[in-house]
Structure 1
């Protein structure tokens, strides 16, 4: 009889993975419970090892299944599924750690089902208890090794931050490291408390993400009164720095997972991988019904170990470092960084095209971009999303050029520096410039005065502040900026006049246009109006994302589905967390939403607790900022912790090698306008590139003193300026 429970759990866990359509096995809906368990039990080591053995067997059983499906479900290059996978492709470290975390999750599930039922404890209480237990001192203890890292004296006193984020916090070396879990504001809402995506409070299925998107979103042009596309792209560039999701790949093979075929049709059940969570398209969808598309390929995010290597629910992995440290430029690991560097000069690698420096090129372009030939333009950087849209590629190129510009001048000023010192000093300045622009130039347009005051209040590092990026920020908060992307990309001439336009849908993961129109795209960033945050999404993002000749995807549907995959509670719970009253009916949302917004929500959701966080955030009325109160709360929290929890933040005077006051004064001069000028041939630009041109913000020459330039003599350690 010993193995009967295990057989039941094998079936149960398989259903956990493959289906979100089954009724909840719980009497208590997990999203209705937020409390600490009063029932405490202990699990002996034999029970834990039994669960680990079972999890290993379950993982082994997947081998034959994956071998059977890997050919029929292989993602076809050039399709929307392929482009989506490129943006979410896991690095090998993520794959290796993800497989370990998956084993830990399966062992936790087994313990819950076999032990908690015996203790007459519901799964939510069981999960809370398991979180107090660790895989240390078990046969799985080896998976905790990277979380147990101790900083050496050399690492503690290193003048430069590590590439992967380790040893920023000396006492907890892993804090902020790449390939670690996001943190959470609230416990996740999974049906079984561990990993099955939630159902409606009414026990019905949650509304289809595409149904929500097509009902609530309209594609009308809705330009902001004064903010430019540069504002939007800077926010997305910062998102790349702080957060990078990763899609699960096969457990036993380094193969991507297809959940729908190349025509958007659903696979037969026997080919559905347990990590599939495809986005179903409603039969009467006005756009997709003519294309006969049934589903969009969504694969669940890679599982991550809990930070203390404890047992418990599913967590998701961040492939980026959790610091604002240029990881999208330099890479999230020392290994990846080395591939991007010119070791002999301290510069970043480039490709020279038409006598201009661009990012290095892939030699097998069709594998990494939506292009027709392997010799077409397809760029490499520290982040796979570099080719997502042309404006983002331009931003990545600018900062590669800025690093190399600094490296070259630093080499001339300090002839005794070796290439490593040149690289690290240039990188250090680049990160400081990015942090300064974000906190002093960009964020003031995003947040209200109250939240801004909280962020600017502290400059010193606080070792008690956890900088880890929150799941809520990464999955919903910062994602609302995508609503600001216009459908049409403007190209501007030297007089800042539009001379031509590009359609967004023609340039997803196809960056070749920047080679011939780099300066025109840059001027477009500074002159074209951004859209307002809200439900006015670009048609090319909601219908034509990564479109091939047949069809494209819907970005907002993916954001909704990802929130459910990650177990985010509903918008109503975050309202309450951020100081608003929890509502009982849709009409009660009148404190932050218009009548039309409340009506549209009631048409797709059965209960206010079901409203997805990103949808609630998009529909909130702005309060003295671009955002409503809930998203402001989530985003402000992240930027506060990103600053205070970073020992190497540029203003912190207690780091091993702080910037001198002279150097800080130079960094404080930097604006994005100066970065544009120094790394392009645009000639002139307005001083505040996040604002449109007007009488108070008119274009000036790049040589004008009103766009101050950082003086690197402050880094010439033998100069009179430095010695003053």
Structure 2
């Protein structure tokens, strides 16, 4: 061997050794904290150090990303070296957001195609099964026991999830056809568990294929009302009635739709048993954050995520319980969408009312637009984008109902005060003469009166801007006034989310790592390959951290009376918004929301939600904590440990790693740490630096809002090279002046509000004392920049 060959061989060996040593790196916990919260959990010693240093440059053209953005790194045998992000440690990713790499794709492509006869048989079986299910459901319409009584707490829950759009039912039936076909093909061993889990089923044609939405050849300047036509190549991404995405493959016990079971193979504990043992009532006020932070969070959540549950064919709510909750209906009498929550006979609360069953109906499914079969995908009844769909509607028909002449939104003029328009549907619990029940874009604006207040504020903001634009541009017709106003109001809303709300939720480090902080000018983050659709994990668990921060009381303050005007128990104003007709009430409630602290994020939920939610005239209501646990299982959300691994944390191997109180409570209901539900586990974690939620939820939420930014062509910060309706630099600068405090100052009744804190989500702490609404600390937008 020549000297030159020896040198070349030595160089090659060293290169391969360096690359392999990087690839062998273990994904450790780069920025997590110990599991804790108010259980005082011990340090888990989670900062496991790899023997290999993180890569400065990823091998094999890999990209360094936060672990949650590379789901393939948790697959058995995966080799994803650690690497340096700007502020944290990430993993080198070679698969993007795909759940498997090229090896698995090759393995699938080498597999023989599914037999045509198997496909035909699956289609025929699917159609027969759907017909049988629909006939069974039609028969239940005539049975009183199968319909929820309007006086039951479950009726309020139904109002929170119902949709009046017939298209949802048609798509839901199509999704069932494809689901049944997947079940049949799996039973014939034509589909493997891996193919289902990894979504390698696009080589099968489902019996139902929804058409892609029609889109204009020249992109509209304005965002569509239903979220469609945002992405040129994938026009259905983020649209209304499309399915939630997945961070990890679901954990269905049959691989397709059956609810998750324990790691031991036994059924999981009742969701109510989990709630009773782990999600207690407690009072742990936040030191800085107020209830307005909580309420705005619910307002954001309702905008981007609305689960749609199955109903009877006539639209009536399905009952899975007998005798108003005194027993679970026998399986042969249940609707196929039933998954009732079973209560112990000696339940500490419900036992005194002889309740043995909490009604629970599964979420309606959505078909894939690639015509494939596969595991169940739940339907989002709203567009996935932050586009104020609960203000403007999610369909052209709904938007037209909410509009008024002159480019305005319709209102109920209550003696000179603009409130949302009254609804003709009986969706409120106080339906006597003179009681107000309001219309909204998502039909859920009456759920709690503090939410109705925000609907009111944003309705007024639209009308304020529309009147100003109409005066500035007298040549505009009312359609132009309306759509230009909507474009501006959506930008204000998105700016408040990314500039004010998310930083307090996630902390500056995570905001920086995920590129969520608004730019000085136009943003450059758009990626047409990013699917913005919400993940099921975000919708059913991470974003539901907000249920922990709800307080049991709404405090109504009066500056004129110099104190608390009244305190209202939260359940008393659920679907009962008539107090808004009391003239000073809106201002006084806003003052209370800004003054009263929210609760801390922890495994404690007020009894207002865990015992009395939607109680109406009953001495008991629903348990929202139990419903959250059951909803996660409905979606096939994997165990908490799986998501700890996904975000780069060490999984819990034993309950005894935790403090005795936490270990005792968890082990009293769960057989294994691998059974812990994601929503429960996420609430146990200590908050990340500068934020209020733990590492697991923080990464799931940050990842989601990154997708909503990168995958939204109409995101307010994008320039004309991306956004067909881009703002000019001077207009964008004006929008970036807007704060929630400005919105509140401009749209309160001005009866008792003449000042606000510069940061509306912080209490009046030193440095955030209230200032007059005309203070330069609460900047106003100069609408003259929008004169044509």
Q: What TM-score results when the alignment is normalised by the length of structure 1?
A: 0.89
Pairwise CA RMSD? 2.0
Matched, 1:519 2:579: no
Which digits, 9 at most, give the CA deviation of each residue in 1:488-537, with x for residues without a partner? 10001125732211011111111112221111111111111100011221
Counterpart position of 1:99: 173
Q: SS of the residue aligned with 2:325?
A: coil
Counterpart position of 1:78: 151
Q: Which residue of 334, 349, 353 corresponds with 2:410? A: 349
Q: Which residue of 184, 199, 221 corresponds with 1:110? A: 184
Task: State how far apart, in whole Å, the 1-side matches of 2:75 and 2:669 are.
Answer: 20
Counterpart position of 1:570: 639
Counterpart position of 2:702: 636
Q: SS of the residue aligned with 1:304?
A: coil
Q: Which residue of 276, 288, 292 corresponds with 1:230? A: 292
Matched, 1:195 2:257: yes
Matched, 1:274 2:329: no
Task: State how far apart, in whole Å, the 2-side matches of 1:451 and 1:126 are.
Answer: 33
> Shift in Å at residue 598 of structure 1?
3.4
> Shift in Å at residue 487 of structure 1?
0.2
> Shift in Å at residue 296 of structure 1?
1.0
Counterpart position of 2:346: 284
Structure 1: segments with no counterpart, 5+ residues: 1-30, 718-724
Q: How does 1:616-631 map to 2 (within 5 A)?
A: 616-624=681-689, 625-631=691-697
> Are the aligned partners of 1:74 and 1:257 in contact in 2 as well (CA < 8 Å)?
yes
Change (3 A) 1:690 1:51: same
Counterpart position of 1:503: 569
Task: State how far apart, in whole Å, the 2-side matches of 1:123 and 1:552 are.
Answer: 40
Task: State how far apart, in whole Å, the 1-side matches of 2:642 and 2:420 are.
Answer: 43
Q: Which residue of 694, 718, 731 corresponds with 1:652? A: 718
Which digits, 9 at most, give the CA deviation of each residue in 1:397-444, with x for residues without a partner? 110110011111111110001111111111111111111111111111
Task: State how far apart, in whole Å, the 2-side matches of 1:286 and 1:201 are.
Answer: 28
Q: SS of the residue aligned with 2:287?
A: strand
- Answer with 253-262 or 212-221: which moved more: 253-262
Change (3 A) 1:144 1:280: same
Task: State how far apart, in whole Å, the 2-side matches of 1:175 and 1:217 are.
Answer: 36
Task: State how far apart, in whole Å, the 1-side matches of 2:592 and 2:151 are.
Answer: 28
Counterpart position of 1:474: 539
Q: Which residue of 547, 555, 558 corresponds with 1:490? A: 555
Task: State how far apart, in whole Å, the 2-side matches of 1:583 and 1:233 are.
Answer: 33
Change (3 A) 1:68 1:213: same
Counterpart position of 1:456: 516
Matched, 1:613 2:678: yes
Q: How does 1:111-126 map to 2 (within 5 A)?
A: 111-113=185-187, 115-116=188-189, 123-125=193-195
Change (3 A) 1:641 1:712: same
> Shift in Å at residue 377 of structure 1?
1.2
Task: State how far apart, in whole Å, the 2-side matches of 1:67 and 1:639 are.
Answer: 41
Change (3 A) 1:129 1:399: closer
Q: SS of the residue aligned with 2:406?
A: coil
> Shift in Å at residue 125 of structure 1?
4.7
Q: Which residue of 402, 416, 421 corresponds with 2:475? A: 416
Task: State how far apart, in whole Å, the 2-side matches of 1:494 and 1:414 are.
Answer: 39
Change (3 A) 1:254 1:714: same
Matched, 1:401 2:463: no
Structure 2: segments with no counterpart, 5+ residues: 1-73, 77-98
Task: State how far apart, in whole Å, the 2-side matches of 1:81 and 1:262 are.
Answer: 13
Change (3 A) 1:470 1:307: farther
Task: State how far apart, in whole Å, the 1-side matches of 2:134 and 2:688 are.
Answer: 53
Which digits, 9 at most, give the CA deviation of each residue in 1:331-372, with x for residues without a partner? 111121111111x311111111232111111224xx312224
Q: SS of the residue aligned with 1:492?
A: strand
Which digits, 9 at most, give the CA deviation of each residue in 1:290-336, with x for residues without a partner? 01111111100001113423111000011111111111111111121
Q: SS of the residue aligned with 1:303?
A: coil
Task: State how far apart, in whole Å, the 1-side matches of 2:626 and 2:369 are.
Answer: 29
Q: Which residue of 677, 680, 684 corresponds with 2:755? A: 684
> Shift in Å at residue 152 of structure 1?
2.7
Task: State how far apart, in whole Å, the 2-side matches of 1:111 and 1:618 are.
Answer: 39
Matched, 1:387 2:446: yes
Q: Which residue of 680, 689, 712 corresponds with 2:783? A: 712
Counterpart position of 1:377: 436
Counterpart position of 1:204: 266
Which digits, 9 at most, give the CA deviation of each residue in 1:428-478, with x for residues without a partner? 111111111111111111003321102336722221221111111111011
Change (3 A) 1:374 1:69: farther
Counterpart position of 1:184: 246
Q: How does 1:575-594 map to 2 (within 5 A)?
A: 575-588=644-657, 590=658
> Shift in Å at residue 595 of structure 1?
4.8
> Are the aligned partners of 1:492 and 1:524 in contact in 2 as well (CA < 8 Å)?
yes
Q: Which residue of 766, 779, 784 corresponds with 1:695? A: 766
Task: State how far apart, in whole Å, the 2-side matches of 1:635 and 1:384 are.
Answer: 25
> Are the aligned partners of 2:202 and 2:371 in contact in 1 as well (CA < 8 Å)?
no
Counterpart position of 2:215: 151
Task: State how far apart, in whole Å, the 1-side matches of 2:395 and 2:462 are.
Answer: 18
> Are the aligned partners of 1:75 and 1:262 in contact in 2 as well (CA < 8 Å)?
no
Q: SS of the residue aligned with 1:317?
A: coil
Q: SS of the residue aligned with 1:502?
A: strand
- Answer with 623-632 or 495-504: which moved more: 495-504
Q: SS of the residue aligned with 1:369?
A: coil
Q: How does 1:308-319 map to 2 (within 5 A)?
A: 308-319=370-381
Task: State how far apart, in whole Å, the 1-side matches of 2:488 and 2:200 are.
Answer: 44
Counterpart position of 2:669: 604
Q: SS of the residue aligned with 1:456?
A: coil
Matched, 1:165 2:227: yes
Q: What TM-score results when the alignment is normalised by the length of structure 2?
A: 0.82
Task: State how far apart, in whole Å, the 1-side matches of 2:396 and 2:342 are.
Answer: 40
Q: SS of the residue aligned with 1:61?
A: helix
Change (3 A) 1:544 1:368: same
Task: State how far apart, in whole Å, the 1-side matches of 2:281 and 2:394 are.
Answer: 36
Task: State how far apart, in whole Å, the 1-side matches of 2:322 and 2:415 are.
Answer: 40
Task: State how far apart, in whole Å, the 1-side matches of 2:246 and 2:294 are.
Answer: 25
Task: State how far apart, in whole Å, the 2-side matches of 1:127 and 1:663 are.
Answer: 46
Task: State how far apart, in whole Å, the 2-side matches of 1:403 and 1:329 are.
Answer: 10
> Are the aligned partners of 2:303 and 2:386 in contact in 1 as well (CA < 8 Å)?
yes
Q: Which residue of 110, 129, 137 corresponds with 1:58? A: 129
Q: SS of the residue aligned with 1:180?
A: coil
Task: State how far apart, in whole Å, the 2-side matches of 1:231 and 1:261 are.
Answer: 39
> Are the aligned partners of 1:455 and 1:639 in contact in 2 as well (CA < 8 Å)?
no
Q: How many residues align?
A: 667
> Are the aligned partners of 2:210 and 2:369 in contact in 1 as well (CA < 8 Å)?
no
